[in-house]
A and B are shown apart, each in its own frame.
Chain A
């Protein structure tokens, strides 16, 4: 059996945002993730790439799916994974992010996965620790592994991203998923559209490399991919939109609205879904939905990212 050629070296120490990556960086991660998919599909899922390495998951916002995805990814690579439960730790007792970082750093982890409610938290942490940091979502800023897993899902179904029409629908204003996806899709040459009520669009959106549409019929026309975003319940009661029923009427994805897109358009959602708010159950569970594949690709992408960051060819990993 011949040894597979080793993948090119990833030149970054941290993954803090898609904004830091070049198109070749993105391709590299997606290619590595493709390989990781095959590992996950074997009956023997464990490898020893990260054996002896320590991964700490530091989640300030509860997120079952992202945290377990990172945990599973680390375990499949053979790493020791520790989940810091923020709710019961000293963080609750007023310890600052920096102090927590310094404490964790003393435990000499190899990689820290952080999710935090404040934009820039992952970058701040990265300045203070000696190991690699992966941003698992910081406020409304970025969620790079989500954008990568979305790209992997699209690429596996549709081929190269360039020239595809991707429409992102919903709460763009508060969405880190939207920002990371806009950056990644633009970098890879896709045409990006957004559809949302104007109260849920950030200032300057028209200069973010997207075409803004106010109606689903226009925004979805001939789209190859439809990405739905979650709308937080607390933002529906009059603050940004007047009611759930009005929101669903104009911006919820149902069979009728989806008709405007290409017949084989993919329907995506980062989860967790609000069925009947931003997406109807029939569509979420329908033939065009790749929401389950996104979850699978999530594990693969996170394996690829951690392997790439802790590449032993680089001065002893990231230490």
Chain B
């Protein structure tokens, strides 16, 4: 087995609360040692030694909300192209959403995704399965069998479960299998045909708005049901201070709940929509600046547990349309780390906390290997130059779709090398 020794790196490992200068020793597909103490372990003969002075090593990012076009819309994104984008962005594990054609609601389809991943992907791919058959919000899928087949969580992806009864039963039943129910909440009736955040800006543009309450009302219902059932509930993408307050309250009441926020809702606000820029049509919509700041605070204070890219490839056919007719979503795997590091460089969120919400916490929440650098852990790690400046350019995007919200954006902090199970899958 080959051994690689990374010396003099800043090592950030939230799984052990470490942020220190030290050495990381990778032996085969595992981490043998990482930290200041590893400096004294010496270098085995034949090991490759990489001087990492001034560089930082983080556990590989775990992105728990990634939409892919395979199966059904491979022209937008395949598992292989998403995996390549992930590797370049320092993401070593992705949880893929079931909103494909066909919907991932059956064990054969979970197996199909895993097989395609094994054959074509360079990062770990963990499928999420649909919560309801066909994402129709009527009948539960086979949680037990799907979980055995490899589904790591149950979610209806972009769809919100309207039925309180189905949500109650899903939370109750999933508990028996130790499964997490992940849910994006947007009340379909209340958001009506809304396409951006409700408010003055939408009013001037003549676009129908989505009120903040459209997210909070089904969320509050879910939190009550989580409390009632004791099931594990994950609010998959919250975007408002109202939702953060609801999560904080549910947590303090002892409910088994967690929450995630999209990097977009931490980085951008409704003004970025500008003159009908459809790449900024997102779900949840970009909110007002107050809400963006509230989401950053929620990441800092622990109300929000996870940051996701909400990577959602869309092509010309779904984006080059008038705003209200365009599909929602933006790609994000390659810009997740860069955009998140803005919070670190601004002094908003410490690096250790940022690594936790980007890696350790989602790995733990969904029961995935990785997310830490402790001895014996899989060697999923990234070597980063935290200060290297770069500019996002469409030409460099590896994803098959180019619908990024960060075209031309200046980033500080770049992935130099990505290791998945000890293998280098990206090097800049």
Contact = CB atoms under 8 A, between A and B. Distances in A.
B99 interface: no
A76 B11 CA distance: 76
Nearest to B325: A118
A204 B200 contact: yes
B323 interface: yes
Contacts of A207: 200
A74 B21 CA distance: 74
A203 B206 contact: no
Contacts of B208: 140
B199 interface: yes
B198 interface: yes
Given A141-B205, A141-B206, A96 B320 contact: yes
Contacts of A204: 199-201, 203
B203 A205 contact: yes
B293 interface: no
A203 B276 contact: no
Nearest to A119: B206
A97 interface: yes
B321 interface: yes
A61 to B, nearest CB: 13
Contact of B322 (A119, A179, A205): A119
Interface residues of A, number: 24
Contacts, number: 69
A119 B205 contact: yes
B203 A123 contact: no
Nearest to A174: B206
B195 to A, nearest CB: 9
B214 interface: no
Contacts of A203: 198-200, 202-203, 209, 211
Contacts of B199: 203-204
A81 B142 CA distance: 62
Contacts of B211: 203
Interface in B271-306: 275-276
Contact of B323 (A98, A119, A179): A119
Interface string B179-207: 00000000000000000001111111111
B324 A118 contact: yes
A202 B322 contact: no
Contacts of B322: 97, 116, 118-121, 124, 138-139
A224 interface: no
Nearest to A120: B276
A179 B205 CA distance: 9
Contacts of B205: 119-120, 141
A205 B321 CA distance: 27
A140 B207 CA distance: 7
Contact of B324 (A123, A139, A179): A139
Contacts of A202: 202-203
Given A139-B324, A176-B206, A120 B200 contact: no
Interface size class of chain B, counting residues whose CB lies under 8 Å from the partner chain: 20 to 34
A205 to B, nearest CB: 7
A19 B204 contact: yes
Contacts of A118: 321-325
A142 to B, nearest CB: 7
A35 interface: no
A9 interface: no
A237 interface: no
A176 B317 CA distance: 27
B45 to A, nearest CB: 63
Contact of B200 (A121, A141, A176, A208): A208
A118 B206 CA distance: 9
B47 to A, nearest CB: 56
Contacts of B317: 96
A139 B206 contact: yes
Interface in B315-366: 317, 320-325
B205 to A, nearest CB: 6
A113 to B, nearest CB: 17
A208 B199 CA distance: 11
Interface string A89-113: 0000000111000000000000000
Interface centre among B206, B321, B324, B325 (most CB of A within 10 A): B206
A138 B275 CA distance: 13
B206 A179 contact: yes
Contacts of A19: 204
Nearest to B321: A96
A308 to B, nearest CB: 22
B213 to A, nearest CB: 12
A176 B206 CA distance: 7
A128 to B, nearest CB: 9
A208 B200 CA distance: 8
Given A141-B205, A141-B206, A142-B206, A120 B198 contact: no
Interface string A27-70: 00000000000000000000000000000000000000000000
B192 to A, nearest CB: 10
Interface string A198-222: 0000111101100000000000000
Interface in A268-312: none
30 contacts: A19-B204, A96-B320, A96-B321, A97-B321, A97-B322, A116-B322, A118-B322, A118-B325, A119-B205, A119-B207, A119-B276, A119-B322, A120-B205, A120-B207, A120-B275, A120-B276, A120-B323, A121-B322, A124-B276, A124-B321, A138-B206, A139-B207, A202-B202, A203-B198, A203-B199, A203-B202, A203-B203, A203-B211, A204-B200, A205-B203
Given A139-B322, A139-B324, 16 more contacts: A96-B317, A96-B320, A98-B321, A118-B325, A119-B206, A119-B324, A120-B207, A120-B323, A123-B275, A139-B206, A140-B207, A140-B208, A142-B206, A179-B204, A205-B203, A208-B203
Q: Nearest 6 pairs between A and B by C-beta?
A: A204-B200, A141-B206, A120-B276, A118-B322, A140-B206, A202-B203
